[in-house]
Amino acid sequence: MEVVGKSVIRKEAFDKVTGRARYTHDYQTSGMLSAKMVISPYGHAKIVSIDTSKARQVPGVRAIIAGKRYPLTGEAIRDRPPIAVDKVRYHGEPVALVVADTPGQAKTAADLIHVQYEPLPVVNSPTQAFRRDAPLVHERLGEYKKEEDSHPVPGTNIATHIKIRKGNMEKGWSESEVVVEASFSFAPSDHAAMETRCSTAEILPDGQIIIMTSSQAPFMAKRLIADYFGEDMGKIIVHTPFVGGAYGGKASVQLEVLAYIASKEVGGKPVKLLNTREEDILTSPCHIGLDATVKLGADRNGKLKAAEIQYLWDGGAYSDKAIDVTRSGAVDCTGPYKLENVWCDSYCMYTNHPYAAPFRGFSHSELSFAIERTMDILAGKLNMDPLELRHINAIQPGDTTPTRVLLNRSNIGDLRKCIEKLRELFNWNEGPVKEINERYVRVKGISCSWKTSTIDPDAPSGVILTFNRDGSINLMSGVIEIGTGTKTVLAQILAERLKMDVDKIHVRMEVDTQTTPEHWKTVASRGTYMGGRAVLEAAEDVIRQLTEIAACVLRAPIQDLEVGGSRVYLRDDPAIGLHFKDIGYGYQYPNGNAIGGQIIGKGNIVLRHLSHLDPETGAGKPGPEWTPAAYGVEIEFDRRDYTYRLVKACTVVDIGKVMNEKAALGQVMGAMSMGLAFAGRETFYFDELGRVLNPQLRTYRPLRYGENPEFLVGFVETPALDSAYGARGVGEHGLMGMPGALGNALSLAAGVSFHHLPLIPELVWKAKEAARNASI
Amino acid sequence: MLPFDFDYYRPQSLSEAVELYQYVAQQGKKPMFFSGGTELITLGRIDLAHADAVIDIKGIAEGRVMEMDGEYLVLGSTLSLTNIEEANPFPLLTKTSSEIADHTARGKITVGGNICGQIFYREAVLPFLLSDSQVVLVGPKGVKTAFIHDVFNQELQLEKGEFLVQLATERRFVEAPSISIKRRQQWDTGYPLITIAALKIDREIRVAISGLCPFPFRSREVEEVLNRQGVTGEARVERALTVLPRPILNDIEGSTEYRLFVLKNLFIDVLRSLDGMTV
């Protein structure tokens, strides 16, 4: 192939490296007002009173919104007031909104709003939320409007319950000669994208609602604002320019709603709401936490026979996207292993924590930590090489998933090939432990994962192509450029299909929901998978139009024509042909007669045969294909201090087809870096009032350059037959196995089993102290 | 974004700076001496720092000094940590301050600003505590020179309108064998769980610590125990852990007990490095 697979420099690279790329906050129209939130300092408290009298006297203040009831919001369950009324349910929840002429005035006024609270008992973990006597986060859960496949249990903190019932558990346990059971937990954390979220809104006199937002889901923002507030969908236009990192956190719709409300309160004037870093961490939705219990049974040869799993997801104060995360966690609950007998309960729990957004991997990095640690415990009990245990259980064509999808050579990648490549790349055969000296030891841990993308069954992706008079092509897709380079890959796909120079394809980076065809959401590693299909369809459309007009001009049958090099030409005599510049805008004969017109191509796609899950058994087809991967992490452990250094991190992923090598490497390495930070350091620390104690980058610390290990990446290419050139999703997968592999390495190094994240030295010290005290 | 406006002054002399401070204060406004500015910017935006007028002392020549004056190394308080790292006149100070914040911030943070900072780690003071340095202060009563131990107790005890101009350190301390180790909650980013700086002079080991307590300190009691003759290294370390100042921090960076575990190993590292202790 000429273009696909090459490391084409991303189209927006020059804008970005020169600092010229513009993000939502960089756009400022004259007369734009500023909004500022007042946020809750408590996890759970009754709002007794709100005094805004002093704030109203601040010059420049246009509106103060507090205590006002708006329609409830939320994607899966309408459980969230945009601005809290009656009570607050999490630290950081918006309690009031000030609109003023300048950001400084808005902040000054916001600081003068006095809110009196009466603390309520706090639900501080999903396990606590699950207890029968737990305080209720939502007393009126039964009254909320909801999607059909959300299953809240009124009178409890259960926002949804997804069941997987596959096979015969009794048979599974009776065939199990070795059984292991373990529990795992970690608190919510943050995405920490470089760009904090920002939205602007303006309501024009004719009723048009113009929104600009740093979002992965501008089309969803349009839909939800229409739904929530009864606005005409066609009058809502959402713009999204470049987005400075998203990682799932910008798939939730939140600030858009607040900006819309703010603008409405000031007669439709343009209003901007920009999160401070603290608000971005606290107020906007976070990375979900989890309490998990996993029980695995195997025969003496290590063949898995049964799995019983409970996931209690920490959805936080409002269910929103956590409902879907909970479902996704059930769908792939076992990890990438063949299992005939599976029983899984995946619960989305309400707690008094910041509510959850999707996070890169969408439940899979989280559940993989629990599954992969348990697999290592099982390997230990079987006295078996942990990589071998995974190899013999690796899921394959002919097997079925927990939701009973029959796998074939296209819809699942080749996990065994990934494992074999990892064995080589990670030098697994030298053994997991290398002694350096009495104090230091190098230890390797491994893990596996898989993922399908549980997007809405009717989620669309569309592409429009238009020609310029010089024969170059404009590509418009609703995929958001969130930093992944996906739009460049779409251009490569088009260039490959039309056999033309990729530099002659111009990609529109900004998306607006009025003129850009919809791409459902830029999530779930679906940009290339779905957008690519739409591009190919649009390419066929323009080929048809180009060859039709060329056939007429060249007086040759369409079947004799080829497209390539920005030309349409005769297959057997390429010298005879027409350049795109002569036909892309129609053709004009020497005498002035013209035929055709500007060529406009279109392509769109919805995924085939996706279905809802059966509420009792979980059976159903949740996603189109599974990407499997195998991972390794090597650490150097200090036996005296219990500290460790990351030496190597390795991912081998079946990507289907490498579309842009450097971009793919960047995606996988970046994801590994995030996964290691999540596993090794990033977490929210809560106090007994449900307050996040570290809502700043001073104390909330992603991985910094220099702390990273050497990254090793391997690709396996088992094509997904229905996708563009066979590509599978790859945006998330480097992350997913890192917590499990690091946990396995550290457990082996320290000689104690770790069940919590983050894996900080103090955790090791505590475990060692506990072990020592137990032995005394 | 800072939520308040302030007047900005950049005096060229010590006396001008002192006078400006008094002038602003007399008007009922809150003045602040300003050096690198990182705390005002980062704490000001979250309402933890405020000033009506900032008096930027970086234009004053005395504060930019970096020279040997006889047997003394004199360092101006407005030298940035990067200035000091690059010139490296005091290796222990270089080592300690190069672990503060990050590279970008160290280009702004000044040695005086770190010592006088609101954020209580103030690691840059540790080498000066160990080397019995002199500090030069200026205020309404004029310039005064003081022994650091007389004016630094948890923080620099400045009178109203006073600021730190210079630090002077004897050459023999600058050249003494030393070690500085920073341990964090995890890896290489973040505040200290514990930072320890130590040097050996006249066959005695001195240690100064940040991150253990909500203030940096040098403790005579600890040093006395660590230098005790005829006792094994391990016993000295165990004993030193019992004479520490209080309170010992217990926060999201680490629990009290864990900090003591970390400190114990750091004491061992110091004794190994400076006292030839073998463990």
- Taking only the tens place, the pLDDT of each residue in A441-485 is 999 999 999 999 888 888 999 999 999 999 999 999 999 999 999
Residue B9, φ and ψ in degrees, nearest 5? -125, 145
Q: Using a CB-CB distance cutoff of 8 angstroms, which residues of chain A are in contact with residue B105?
A: none
Q: State how far the alpha carbon of A583 is from the alpha carbons of A426, A463, A472, A546, A577, in Å.
A: 53, 21, 11, 7, 11
Q: What's the whole-number mean pLDDT along residues A498-511?
A: 97
Question: Where does the pLDDT of residue A43 fall: very low under 50, low under 70, confident under 90, or very high at 90 and above?
Answer: very high
Give percent of chain B above pLDDT 90. Answer: 96
Question: Where does the pLDDT of residue A772 fall: very low under 50, low under 70, confident under 90, or very high at 90 and above?
Answer: confident
Q: What angle do CA A166, A169, A171 make, to 5 degrees?
A: 120
Among A760, A763, A764, the residue to mutate for chain B (most B Cβ within 10 A): A760
A8/chain B closest Cα distance in angstroms = 32
**Chain B: residue nearest A642 by CA?**
B262
Q: What's the whole-number mean pLDDT along residues A129-133?
A: 97
B255 touching A (Cβ < 8 Å): yes
B1 touching A (Cβ < 8 Å): yes
State whether B189 and A701 contact (CB < 8 Å): yes
Q: What's the whole-number mean pLDDT along residues B261-274?
A: 97
Size of interface A-B (CB pairs under 8 A): 57
The yes-or-no verdict on residue B279 having pLDDT over 70 is: no
A308/chain B closest Cα distance in angstroms = 34
**Chain B: residue nearest A762 by CA?**
B258
**Chain B: residue nearest A275 by CA?**
B1
- Residue carrying structure tokens 């039709």: A548
Which residues, listed in sequence order, are joined to residue A146 by a DSSP beta bridge? A77
The yes-or-no verdict on residue A434 having pLDDT over 60 is: yes
State whether A111 and B3 contact (CB < 8 Å): yes
Tens digits of residue pLDDT in B58-86:
999 999 999 999 999 999 999 999 999 99
CB nearest to A701's CB, from B46, B190, B261: B190
Q: How far apart are CA B208 and CA B24, in angstroms?
A: 37
Q: State how far the alpha carbon of B24 is from the alpha carbons of B21, B44, B164, in Å.
A: 5, 19, 19
Interface of A with B (CB under 8 A): 103-104, 107-108, 111, 276, 278, 640-641, 643, 645-646, 680-681, 685, 693-694, 696, 698-699, 701, 703-704, 706-707, 758, 760-762, 765-766
Cut 0.95: pTM above it = yes
Answer yes or no: are the C-beta atoms of A629 and A737 closer than 8 Å. yes
SS3 B80: strand
B186 touching A (Cβ < 8 Å): yes
Largest CA distance in chain A: 102
Q: Using a CB-CB distance cutoff of 8 angstroms, which residues of chain B are in contact with residue A103?
A: 1
**Chain A: residue nearest B187 by CA?**
A707
User: What's residue A294's pLDDT?
Assistant: 98
Query: For residue B259, what are its two tokens?
Result: 């900090």
SS3 B232: coil
**Chain A: residue nearest B102 by CA?**
A704
Residue B108, φ and ψ in degrees, nearest 5? -105, -45
CB nearest to B186's CB, from A681, A693, A698: A681
Query: For residue A430, what are its two tokens?
Result: 């030298």
State whether B3 and A761 contact (CB < 8 Å): no
Q: Using a CB-CB distance cutoff of 8 angstroms, which residues of chain A are in contact with residue B265?
A: 640-641
B252 touching A (Cβ < 8 Å): yes
The yes-or-no verdict on residue A602 having pLDDT over 80 is: yes
User: What's residue B135's pLDDT?
Assistant: 98
B216 touching A (Cβ < 8 Å): no
B278 touching A (Cβ < 8 Å): no
Q: For residue A216, what are the contacts with CB-CB under 8 A and spacing of at least 6? A: A243, A246, A248, A250, A251, A480, A482, A521, A522, A523
State whether B189 and A707 contact (CB < 8 Å): yes
User: What's residue A456's pLDDT?
Assistant: 84
Q: Is A526 exposed, middle or buried (0-12, 13-18, 19+ CB in 10 A)?
A: buried
Q: Using a CB-CB distance cutoff of 8 angstroms, which residues of chain B are in contact with residue A742?
A: none
State whether B261 and A765 contact (CB < 8 Å): yes
Q: How far apart are CA A566 and CA B97, in angstroms?
A: 60
Q: Is B229 exposed, middle or buried (0-12, 13-18, 19+ CB in 10 A)?
A: exposed
Q: How far apart are CA B166 and CA B73, in angstroms?
A: 10
Q: What angle do CA A230, A232, A237 make, to 5 degrees?
A: 120
Among B119, B187, B257, B261, the residue to mutate for chain A (most A Cβ within 10 A): B187
Q: How far apart are CA A755 and CA A310, in angstroms?
A: 15
CB nearest to A107's CB, from B3, B190, B254: B3
State whether B1 and A103 contact (CB < 8 Å): yes
B242 touching A (Cβ < 8 Å): no
B98 touching A (Cβ < 8 Å): no
The ipTM estimated for the assembled molecules is 0.96
A755: which DSSP letter?
Answer: -
Tens digits of residue pLDDT in A183-201:
999 999 999 999 999 999 9
Q: Using a CB-CB distance cutoff of 8 angstroms, which residues of chain B are in contact with residue A761?
A: 185-186
Q: By C-alpha distance, which of A489, A416, A499 is closest to A450?
A: A416
User: What's residue B17's pLDDT?
Assistant: 98
**Chain A: residue nearest B2 by CA?**
A104
A355: which DSSP letter?
Answer: P
Give the DSSP letter string of A565-602: TTEEEETTEEEEEEEHHHHBEEEE-TTS-EEEEE-EEE
Tens digits of residue pLDDT in A395-414:
999 999 999 999 999 999 99
CB nearest to A707's CB, from B4, B187, B191: B187
Q: Using a CB-CB distance cutoff of 8 angstroms, which residues of chain A are in contact with residue B4?
A: 104
The yes-or-no verdict on residue B10 having pLDDT over 60 is: yes
Answer yes or no: are the C-beta atoms of A277 and A347 closer than 8 Å. no
A761/chain B closest Cα distance in angstroms = 7
Q: Using a CB-CB distance cutoff of 8 angstroms, which residues of chain A are in contact with residue B102?
A: 704
**Chain A: residue nearest B119 by CA?**
A698
- Residue carrying structure tokens 């050249």: B175
The yes-or-no verdict on residue A524 having pLDDT over 80 is: no
The CA-to-CA distance between both ends of chain A, in Å, stands at: 66
Q: For residue A401, what are the contacts with CB-CB under 8 A and spacing of at least 6? A: A331, A332, A395, A407, A452, A626
A160/chain B closest Cα distance in angstroms = 32
User: What's residue A605's pLDDT?
Assistant: 93
The yes-or-no verdict on residue A751 having pLDDT over 80 is: yes
Query: For residue A348, what are its two tokens?
Result: 């989305």
State whether B3 and A108 contact (CB < 8 Å): yes
CB nearest to B186's CB, from A278, A693, A761: A761
Give chain B's domains with CATH numbers.
7-58 (3.30.43.10), 61-173 (3.30.465.10), 177-275 (3.30.390.50)
A618-642 b/e with 16+ CB inside 10 Å = b? Answer: bbbbbbbbbbbbbbbbbbbbbbebb
User: What's residue A729's pLDDT?
Assistant: 86
Tens digits of residue pLDDT in B189-230:
999 999 999 999 999 999 999 999 999 999 999 999 999 999
CB nearest to A278's CB, from B46, B255, B265: B46
Question: Where does the pLDDT of residue A765 fall: very low under 50, low under 70, confident under 90, or very high at 90 and above?
Answer: very high
A484/chain B closest Cα distance in angstroms = 26
CB nearest to B186's CB, from A107, A696, A760: A760
Question: Where does the pLDDT of residue A578 fall: very low under 50, low under 70, confident under 90, or very high at 90 and above?
Answer: very high
Among A112, A686, A701, the residue to mutate for chain B (most B Cβ within 10 A): A701
The yes-or-no verdict on residue A174 having pLDDT over 60 is: yes
**Chain B: residue nearest A708 by CA?**
B187
State whether A680 and B102 contact (CB < 8 Å): no
Give chain A's domains with CATH numbers.
16-120+194-245+250-282 (3.90.1170.50), 286-455+611-775 (3.30.365.10), 458-606 (3.30.365.10)
Tens digits of residue pLDDT in A209-257:
999 999 999 999 999 999 999 999 999 999 999 999 999 999 999 999 9
Strands (E), A321-454: 342-350, 356-357, 433-435, 440-451
Tens digits of residue pLDDT in A75-114:
999 999 999 999 999 999 999 999 999 999 999 999 999 9
Q: What's the whole-number mean pLDDT along residues A363-377?
A: 98
A694/chain B closest Cα distance in angstroms = 8
**Number of Cβ within a 10 Å radius of residue A612:** 13
State whether A694 and B252 contact (CB < 8 Å): yes
